[in-house]
Chains A and B, each alone.
Chain A
Amino acid sequence: MGKEVIKLEDIKRDFKVGSEVVHALRGVSFSIMEGEFVTIMGSSGSGKSTLLNTLGCLDTPTYGEYYLDGVAVRTMNKDQRATLRNRKIGFVFQNYTLLPKTTAIENVELPLLYNPKYSRKERYDMSVEALKAVGLGDRLEHKSNQMSGGQMQRVAIARALVNNPAVILADEATGNLDTRTSFEVLVLFQKLHSEGRTIIFVTHNPEIAMYSTRTITLKDGRVISDEYNGKILDAAQALASLPVEKE
Chain B
Amino acid sequence: MNFANLFRIALKALSNNKFRGFLTMLGIIIGVGSVITMLAIGQGSKKSIQAEISEMGSNMIMISPGAERRGGVRMSRDDVQTLKVKDFEDIRDNCKYVTLVSPTVNASGQAVYGANNTPTSVYGVTQEYLDIRGYKVKDGDVFSDQDIHTSAKVCVVGQTVVDVLFPGGEEPVGKVIRFGSIPFRIVGVLESKGTNTMGQDQDDLMFVPYTTVMKRIQAVTYLQGITCSAISEEYTDQAIEEIGAILRENHKLKEGTEDDFNIRSQQELSSMMTSTSDMMSTLLAAVAAISLIVGGIGIMNIMYVSVTERTKEIGLRMSIGAKGRDILSQFLIEATLLSVAGGVIGVILGIVAAYVVKVLLSYPISISTGSIILSFVVCTVIGIFFGWYPARKASNLDPIEALRYE
Contact = CB atoms under 8 A, between A and B. Distances in A.
A82 B16 contact: no
A34 B323 CA distance: 27
Contacts of A82: 318, 321-324
Contacts of A99: 313, 316
Given A58-B399, A113-B1, A85 B324 contact: no
B233 interface: no
A79 B323 contact: yes
Interface stretch (A62-70, A86-94, A179-187, A211-219): A86-94
A97 B316 contact: yes
Band of interface residues on B: 20 to 34
A114 B12 contact: no
Nearest to A49: B400
Interface in A9-56: 53, 56
Contacts of A78: 323-324
B400 A97 contact: no
Contact of A111 (B313, B321, B326, B400): B321
B95 interface: no
Interface string B373-406: 0000000000000000000000000011001000
A86 B320 contact: yes
Contacts of B9: 113
B400 A87 contact: no
B185 interface: no
B181 interface: no
Interface in B1-48: 1-2, 5, 8-9, 12, 16
Contact of A100 (B2, B16, B325, B399): B16
A203 B312 CA distance: 21
Contact of B12 (A106, A115, A116, A159): A106
Nearest to B322: A114
A91 B320 contact: yes
Contact of B320 (A53, A59, A85, A100): A85
Contacts of A113: 1, 5, 8-9
Contacts of A225: none
Contact of A114 (B8, B315, B321, B400): B321
A102 interface: yes
A3 interface: no
A97 to B, nearest CB: 5
A229 interface: no
B320 A111 contact: yes
A102 B15 CA distance: 11
Contacts of A101: 16
A83 B321 contact: yes
A5 B64 CA distance: 96
Nearest to A96: B316
Contacts of A58: 318-319, 399-400
Interface in B291-349: 312-313, 315-326
Nearest to A93: B403
Given A58-B400, A93-B403, A97-B403, A115 B321 contact: yes
Interface string A94-121: 0001011110001000110111100000
Contacts of B325: 79
A110 B325 CA distance: 16
Contact of A97 (B1, B2, B16, B312): B312
Nearest to B5: A113
Given A79-B324, A111-B321, A114-B323, 8 more contacts: A56-B319, A78-B324, A82-B322, A86-B321, A97-B313, A100-B16, A116-B5, A159-B320
11 contacts: A58-B318, A59-B400, A78-B323, A82-B323, A85-B319, A97-B315, A99-B313, A102-B12, A106-B12, A116-B1, A116-B5
